[in-house]
């Protein structure tokens, strides 16, 4: 037996098998488009992430059922960042370098989303959020963050819109602001509300502060109770806002209470109780009260899949996936750089949360919705244009 001869034959067979395997793997990978999902599925703001991902998964299911993107199926690679910015950064790196995604959806909150942007710039893979509203998410003093996008309006617009709503729709002139001093989101909203309210002839009677995870707000409420004011603005998340509203109503403070999209969670009702959630208004991206055909169809589809009413984060997640898929379908190539360019060129995208184009700062140009709650249920929705 010629051992050397057979060794060469076996070596050749091995090499052929390796190449065949690689070819099959490459072919398989070329048949799909991998998109990363980096969301808060547990931790302090898990309801935002969970709702966003429900919307994303519904949209991708529909896209794939309709034939995918140019014949290729979308594969979502999903991770839980546990509501921790450092974990979000680690997962963004993993998605881009190991999983080889062409775009990353999320995180939901501004702090966690911003933590992923340096990784996106380094790897030239776009990151896109449906709900990161801080002003400096996509642009700062150094200019536009080239690989960061969002489809929600920013905090400046929310704060400004709610101040105008208080002045023009509610005819209020004397406001108290109760903000989370540990949150950039809350501080940004408070600053823009105060500026616009005062420019419109209103007075900021008092500014009070709390920090994340506080539960007893009675001292703050007692300190303002006897002041002369006719509206309260709480630019915070549902965790604390629900308790502030409950305790305010418990002290007999019945003036209108205003908030932003951080109010949009079923937990707000659980914490505040239905009786306390009257004369409460908050800015949002979407309302189920909207009767436009695209919203009606979305609600029908969402209920069929999840057996519940969709919230704004469900709608934003849905639009986010459709928005990114639309860009990928128009990209010259399926890579991060090409997808980034397609995202930048988006015009008149028709979504559940409105029709919008992407501006030079990678922000959408769209209307805002102000929702009124009665007994904890959405009662009316008013569109406020830019």
pLDDT tens by residue, 14-34 = 444 444 444 443 334 568 999
Residue 40's pLDDT is 97
What does the mean pLDDT of the chain come to? Answer: 92
CA–CA dist 158, 12 (Å, integer)? 66
Residue 12 has pLDDT above 50, yes or no: no
| Block residue for tokens 């949150």 | 183
pLDDT 10s digits, 119-170: 999 999 999 999 998 889 999 999 999 999 999 988 888 999 999 999 999 9
Residue 78's pLDDT is 98
CA–CA dist 288, 291 (Å, integer)? 8
Residue 371: which of 256, 286, 269 has the closest Cα?
286
Inter-residue contact 386 to 367 (CB < 8 Å): yes
Residue 20's pLDDT is 45
231-252 in b/e form (b: 16+ CB < 10 A) is bbbbbbbbbbbbbbbbbbbeee
Mean pLDDT to the nearest integer, 42-47: 93
Name the 3-class secondary structure at 160.
Answer: helix
Residue 28's pLDDT is 46
The proportion of the chain whose per-residue pLDDT surpasses 70, expressed as a percent, equals: 92
Residue 185's pLDDT is 86
pLDDT class for 2, splitting at 50, 70, 90?
low
CA distances (Å), origin 343, targets 272, 325, 326, 340: 40, 10, 8, 5
Residue 262 has pLDDT above 60, yes or no: yes
Cis peptide leading into 107, omega within 30 of 0?
yes
Inter-residue contact 245 to 276 (CB < 8 Å): yes
Residue 286's pLDDT is 87
Q: What angle do CA 261, 117, 158 make, to 5 degrees?
A: 20
- Residue 191 phi/psi, 5° resolution? -60, -45
pLDDT class for 258, splitting at 50, 70, 90?
very high
Residue 49 has pLDDT above 90, yes or no: yes
Residue 325: which of 13, 46, 60 has the closest Cα?
60
pLDDT 10s digits, 298-348: 999 999 999 999 999 999 999 999 999 999 999 999 999 999 999 999 999
Residue 29's pLDDT is 52
Residue 383's pLDDT is 82
Beta strands 231-233 and 257-259, pairing class: parallel
pTM of the model: 0.78
Residue 115 has pLDDT above 90, yes or no: yes
Q: Which residue ranges form the domains of the chain, and what is each CATH number? A: 31-152+291-366 (3.40.50.2300), 156-284 (3.40.50.2300)
Residue 17's pLDDT is 45
Taking residue 18's Cβ as centre, other Cβ atoms within 10 Å add up to 10
pLDDT 10s digits, 175-230: 999 999 998 889 989 999 999 999 999 999 999 999 999 999 999 999 999 999 99
């Amino acid at each position: 037996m010629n051992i050397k001869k057979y060794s060469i034959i076996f070596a050749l067979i091995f090499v052929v098998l390796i190449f065949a395997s690689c070819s099959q793997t490459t072919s398989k990978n070329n048949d799909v488009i991998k998109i990363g999902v980096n969301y808060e599925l547990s931790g302090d703001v898990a309801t935002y992430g969970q709702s966003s991902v429900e919307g994303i998964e519904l949209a991708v299911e529909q896209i794939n059922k309709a034939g995918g993107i140019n014949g290729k199926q979308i594969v979502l690679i999903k991770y839980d960042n546990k509501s921790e910015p450092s974990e979000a950064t680690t997962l963004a790196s993993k998605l881009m370098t190991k999983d080889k995604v062409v775009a990353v959806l999320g995180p939901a909150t501004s702090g966690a989303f911003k933590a992923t942007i340096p990784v996106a710039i380094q790897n030239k893979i776009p990151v896109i959020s449906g709900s990161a509203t801080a002003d400096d998410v996509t642009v700062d003093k150094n200019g536009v963050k080239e690989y960061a996008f969002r489809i929600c309006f920013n905090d400046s617009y929310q704060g400004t819109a709610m101040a105008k709503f208080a002045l023009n729709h509610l005819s209020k002139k004397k406001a108290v602001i109760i903000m989370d001093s540990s949150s950039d989101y809350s501080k940004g909203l408070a600053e823009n509300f105060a500026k616009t309210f005062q420019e419109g002839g209103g007075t900021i009677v008092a500014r009070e502060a709390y920090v994340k995870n506080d539960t007893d707000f009675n001292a703050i409420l007692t300190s303002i109770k006897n002041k002369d004011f006719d509206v309260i603005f709480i630019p915070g998340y549902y965790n604390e806002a629900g308790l502030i509203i409950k305790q305010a109503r418990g002290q007999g403070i019945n003036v209108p209470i205003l908030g932003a999209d951080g109010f949009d969670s079923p937990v707000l009702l659980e914490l505040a109780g239905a009786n306390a959630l009257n004369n409460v208004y908050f800015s949002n991206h979407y309302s189920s009260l909207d009767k436009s055909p695209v919203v009606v169809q979305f609600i029908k589809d969402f209920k069929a899949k999840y057996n519940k009413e969709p919230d704004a984060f469900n709608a934003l997640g849905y639009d986010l996936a459709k928005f990114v898929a639309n860009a990928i379908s128009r990209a010259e190539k399926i890579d991060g750089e090409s997808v980034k360019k397609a995202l930048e060129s988006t015009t008149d995208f028709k979504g559940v949360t409105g029709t919008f184009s992407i501006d030079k700062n990678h922000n959408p140009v769209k209307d805002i919705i102000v929702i009124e709650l009665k007994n904890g249920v959405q009662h009316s929705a008013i569109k406020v244009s830019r």
